[in-house]
């Protein structure tokens, strides 16, 4: 089985850094990641600069990076305005997300889950019109820092809504590192049963040191796509106690 890694460090890793990192340094980081052989990078996010100041130079970053043949540059786009800006800046793929936990979704996006799905439907229409790839992500798919356990029916319902919008690529994200291999197997099995055509990717944080064990559970399920972060940097700024993502270097070593 061939495994695809999407490097999310430049976006998910840097977004919580309090000191602004220069555009030049961000570009150097992304260029170095591509030079290492990784071909899928989530480079930045097109969000309000007031909400996430670190990502205020998103367009400049996209225009300055070197893109090797076969590379995919994806960006987080939480709304139609951000999606328009990302497309103009040359994004290859837009990432739209919603939380399976109503509380986390409200704190993160200031919307209900239903309103978020309506917004994503508009994003899907725009991406289709512009010929840009679109990937969906379900945050807090394995647990919520505010609500605790997340009902798998909520994850399945969102996945089915994405299927209705003709999404084929769906990431299940362990936003705060609450997943265990057993939870991963249960959630993925339920999503696959409800939406068998979905192409699943997994995103784990390493809060409790179970990141690579959860990857192993995913591989046992023949899931072939994983998101990770260079040096393990990152952590959801709206999730108390969350630590970094699974470390890309560790993941590559493990897979090899």
Whole-number Å distance between alpha carbons of 49 and 47: 6
Tell me how far apart the terminal alpha carbons of the chain are, to the nearest angstrom. 12
Query: For tokens 């390493």, what's the residue?
Result: 206
Residue 66 DSSP SS3: coil
SS3 170: strand
Q: What is the dihedral of CA 77, 104, 196, 134, to 10 degrees?
A: 0
Annotated catalytic residue, options 144, 188, 236, 247? 236
Q: Other C-beta atoms within 10 Å of 32: how many?
A: 11
Q: Is 222 helix (H, G, I), strand (E, B) or coil?
A: coil
**CA-to-CA distance for 120 and 254, rounded, in angstroms?**
35
What 8-state DSSP symbol labels residue 244?
P
Tally Cβ neighbours within 10 Å of residue 106: 17
- CB neighbourhood size of 4 (10 A): 13
Q: Active site includes 236?
A: yes
**Which residues belong to the active site?**
236
């Amino acid at each position: 089985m061939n495994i695809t890694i999407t490097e999310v460090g430049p976006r998910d890793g840097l977004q919580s850094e309090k000191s602004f990192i220069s555009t030049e340094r961000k570009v150097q980081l992304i260029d170095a990641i591509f030079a290492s052989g990784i071909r899928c990078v989530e480079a930045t996010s097109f969000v309000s600069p007031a909400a996430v100041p670190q990502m205020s130079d998103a367009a400049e970053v996209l225009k300055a990076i070197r893109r090797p043949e076969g590379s995919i540059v994806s960006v987080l786009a939480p709304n139609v305005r951000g999606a328009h800006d990302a497309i103009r800046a040359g994004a290859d793929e837009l990432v739209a997300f919603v939380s399976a936990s109503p509380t986390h979704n409200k704190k993160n996006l200031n919307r209900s889950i239903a309103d978020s799905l309506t917004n994503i439907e508009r994003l899907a229409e725009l991406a289709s019109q512009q010929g840009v790839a679109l990937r969906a992500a379900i945050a807090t798919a394995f647990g919520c820092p505010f609500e605790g356990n997340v009902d798998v029916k909520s994850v399945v319902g969102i996945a089915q809504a994405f299927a209705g919008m003709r999404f084929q690529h769906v990431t299940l994200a362990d936003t705060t590192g609450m997943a265990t291999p057993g939870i991963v197997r249960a959630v993925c099995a339920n999503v696959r049963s409800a939406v068998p055509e979905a192409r699943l990717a997994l995103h784990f944080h390493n809060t409790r040191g179970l990141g690579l064990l959860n990857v192993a559970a995913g591989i046992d399920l023949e899931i072939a796509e994983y998101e990770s972060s260079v040096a393990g940097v990152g952590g959801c700024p709206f999730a108390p106690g969350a630590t970094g993502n699974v470390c890309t270097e560790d993941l590559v070593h493990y897979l090899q």
